[in-house]
Amino acid sequence: MNIHIIGAPIDMGAGRRGVDMGPSAIRYAGLGERLSQLGFTIIDEGNIIVAQPETTPIDHPHLKYLEPILEAATTLAAVVERTSGPNDLPLILGGDHSIALGSITGAAKAYGSVGVIWIDAHPDFNTDQTTPSGNIHGMPLAALAGFGDTRLVNLGGFSPKVSPANIAIVGARDIDPGERDLLHQANVHVFTMKDIDRLGLSGTITQALEIATTGTKGVHVSFDMDSLDPREAPGVGTPVRGGITYREAHLTMELIADSGKMTSLDIVEVNPILDQENRTANLAVELILSALGKRIF
């Protein structure tokens, strides 16, 4: 299996600077070498070219940095589509969660139909009409499902990229009011931390996999490091108390690996500026290894 490492160093979708350094921090934590030790062929595609906010106007207060984010997403989609296949898996390193606009568009182009497991403290299902901040990293999943500004929704020339019936959000615990209404309207499956407490992590991921694999040709996993409790992952831009634990995060990835259904993977929102001795990036590498089949025994 060829693992294609793709850096997406963008932080214009977020409200805090720093996650643009996430790809470098994750690579520095030994990603390529440790994946090679599992027997994979590693092809580092480098980083996509991203405009910098210092030289880019915000323009739209409810869709901040829209044009450069669309440009980056279009570039990323092409790379993900090119590096997807039976023996090729794209591994996308964020960057803020707006990168999923590109990665999931590329996966949908490559496979025709994909399900999504979105592991995040936030559903990222806002639109320009519901957003309290205007930050696009809170909107990608809605746009991918066909909701929101037409420029986001129609990225890549088609919509939706994923059916709401094939989306499973796992670990949610911070949902905006308008976002909650839209999730109900779209009938998206949301597993909050309450559901994880009630069902257990294993039961939750089993259901999430069933949702994401029914009638699809693969599963894109989008893992936001703020899904973990801040005690486990301090280096994230939008930490929320009460998240999943170290072992629960590994179990999540191990169960996804056991399914054999994952066709592409995002790891996003690592912010080295806020981290402690690259602790969050090191954890990101460990979770990637678990998602790609590393076993305890």
Are the C-beta atoms of 170 and 253 separated by less than 8 Å? Answer: no
Catalytic residue among 149, 224, 229, 275: 224
Quote the DSSP letter at residue 244. B
- Asked if 269 is an active-site residue, the reply is yes
Catalytic residue among 4, 122, 220, 250: 122
Catalytic residue among 20, 120, 179, 248: 120
- Asked if 137 is an active-site residue, the reply is yes
Quote the DSSP letter at residue 294. -
CB neighbour list of residue 33: distance below 8 Å, 6 or more residues apart: none
Catalytic residue among 62, 97, 220, 250: 97
Query: What is the rounded CA–CA span in Å between residue 10 and residue 73?
Result: 10
Catalytic residue among 20, 149, 174, 269: 269
Query: What is the rounded CA–CA span in Å between residue 187 and residue 211?
Result: 12
> For residue 273, how far is the Cα from the chain centroid?
20
Q: Which amino acid is at 249?
A: A
Catalytic residue among 226, 232, 254, 275: 226
- Asked if 189 is an active-site residue, the reply is no
Q: Which amino acid is at 154?
A: N
Query: What is the rounded CA–CA span in Å between residue 212 and residue 40?
Result: 25
- Asked if 124 is an active-site residue, the reply is yes
Q: Beginning with the edge strand found earlier in the chain, give each strand of the sheet holding 262-268 in spatial order.
A: 41-47, 2-8, 88-94, 262-268, 219-224, 115-119, 167-172, 189-192
Query: What is the rounded CA–CA span in Å between residue 77 and residue 87?
Result: 18
Terminal Cα-to-Cα distance of the chain (whole angstroms): 21
- Asked if 71 is an active-site residue, the reply is no
> ∠ CA(290), CA(225), CA(31), 5° rounding?
45
Catalytic residue among 96, 124, 174, 179: 124
Query: What is the rounded CA–CA span in Å between residue 179 and residue 76?
Result: 26
- Asked if 60 is an active-site residue, the reply is no
Catalytic residue among 4, 137, 189, 220: 137
> What are the residue numbers of the active site?
97, 120, 122, 124, 137, 224, 226, 269
